[in-house]
Amino acid sequence: MAPTKVLTGARVVLPTGTVDDGRVIVEGTRIADTAPDAPGSVETIDVSGHWLVPGFVDLHNHGGGGASFAGGTAEEVLQGVHTHRLHGTTTVVASAVTGDLDFLARHAGMLAELAQQGDIAGIHFEGPFISPCRKGAHDEELLRDPDPAEVRKLIDAAHGHARMMTLATELPGGLDSVRLLVEHGVIAAVGHTDATYEQTVAAIDAGATVATHLFNAMPVLGHRAPGPIAALLEDERVTVELINDGTHLHPAALQLAFHHAGPRRVAFITDAMDAAGFGDGRYMLGPMEVEVAEGVARLVEGGSIAGSTLTLDRAFQRAVTVDGLPVEDVVQAISATPARLLGLDDRIGSLEPGKDADLVLLDADFALKGVMRRGEWVVAPQLG
């Protein structure tokens, strides 16, 4: 059996607050309460001067490391998953993009097998049931109104691993589709939407609980027409996704959302595409061609912003060092809140005895220095 690992001397961010000079004990794949008596089997690692935080949980991610979750083979998806693990994301939901319905159903079947094996935490369908007015980087020709029968087809194709679907809920069939998703235990997310404030309130009342990248691909906040942003921010039932890469949102917009919703209702996501953790160049996002220059992904045709090249370690560092958010709040928004939303908070999302030993080690400047997933180092501690 693998030796028990004891990490000592770190600033450990626990659900109850930060403990200076704290320790985390890892036995097998789990966090243990106390060290065992047999000292021979204990490996102690001094990580003084570092932070220990829970592994990151990404609800919305299309790929990385040159590989696509939206169209790649199983091998490619695993390559993307590994890339994000190297950046601290120990749990990832694979996001599909708008595509032909039969293709999406087949692709979901493949992703479902990876979810069954525990490689991904399920599937997020972003499209095709979104608004042509707010299509972002989605192929307009393949967009459709949310027909509950077609929504059902995708849910079934995912064999119990559909976790979330992004919809323009104001379209015909939108509210019935929200209700259908909720009935099947799938998160209904409002996004790529042209809805009014009132239409968004109706969607939340029907059961929608997530805002897909709040601010992006939806009408702006107007004082006479507050639109979806106000409805999604004000409602306690809704968690808002934010892409904190410095490109998708002005820092003031991020602050506004964070302070209004609070860390228990914010989930930091990457919305990453293949170039994340890889580099500039030409890529495909589903059927759409994307050019990545200086880390910003845009459609070749039309120049619409097309996902990000963000990894959650950078989102974390930026949230603390640029946005000035408290570390504990960032931990909440990057681990605990998304874990709870996925219904996985009994296993992941915080550092507590009995939970999976998913840990991220950060230095004093919040740069990533180690990643452990289920008790195994994915990135061995770099203690310089």
Enumerate binding residues for Zn ion (CB under 5 A): 126, 271
Check if the beta carbon of residue 70 is closer than 8 Å to that of residue 96.
yes
Cβ proximity to Zn ion: between 130 and 178 the closer is 130
**271 is a catalytic site residue:** yes
Q: What are phi and psi of 174, to 5 degrees?
A: -65, -50
Cβ proximity to Zn ion: between 202 and 306 the closer is 306
Short-list 92, 102, 183, CA closest to 144: 102
Cβ proximity to Zn ion: between 111 and 372 the closer is 111
Report cis status (omega within 30 of 0) of the bond before 128: yes
Which residues sit opposite 43 in a β-bridge? 5
First and final C-alpha spacing in the chain: 29
CB of 111 to Zn ion, least distance (A): 15
CB of 189 to Zn ion, least distance (A): 10
Q: What is the pairing mode between strands 4-14 and 42-46?
A: parallel
Residue type, 264: R
Q: What is residue 278's three-state secondary structure?
A: coil
- How many Cα neighbours within 13 Å face the side chain of 54? 32
CB of 371 to Zn ion, least distance (A): 24
CB of 307 to Zn ion, least distance (A): 6
Interatomic CA distance for residues 38 and 269, integer angstroms: 42
Cβ proximity to Zn ion: between 271 and 345 the closer is 271
DSSP 253: H
CB of 70 to Zn ion, least distance (A): 9
Interatomic CA distance for residues 85 and 56, integer angstroms: 9
Check if the beta carbon of residue 330 is closer than 8 Å to that of residue 20.
no
In the bound state, the residue with its beta carbon closest to Zn ion is 271
Cα 100 to chain centroid, rounded: 24
Angle at 286 between CA 307 and CA 121, to 5 degrees: 70
- What does 210-245 look like in DSSP terms, one character per residue? EETTTTTTS----SS--HHHHHHHH-TT-EEEEE-S
CB of 169 to Zn ion, least distance (A): 17
Short-list 177, 176, 173, CA closest to 164: 177
Cβ proximity to Zn ion: between 225 and 300 the closer is 300
- Considering the candidates 271, 274, 313, 356, report the single residue annotated as catalytic: 271
Cβ proximity to Zn ion: between 126 and 170 the closer is 126
CB of 155 to Zn ion, least distance (A): 19
The residue written with tokens 């091998």 in the block is 75
Cβ proximity to Zn ion: between 47 and 120 the closer is 120
Interatomic CA distance for residues 116 and 119, integer angstroms: 8
The first and second tokens of residue 281, run together, are 């160049």
User: Which residues are tagged catalytic?
Assistant: 271
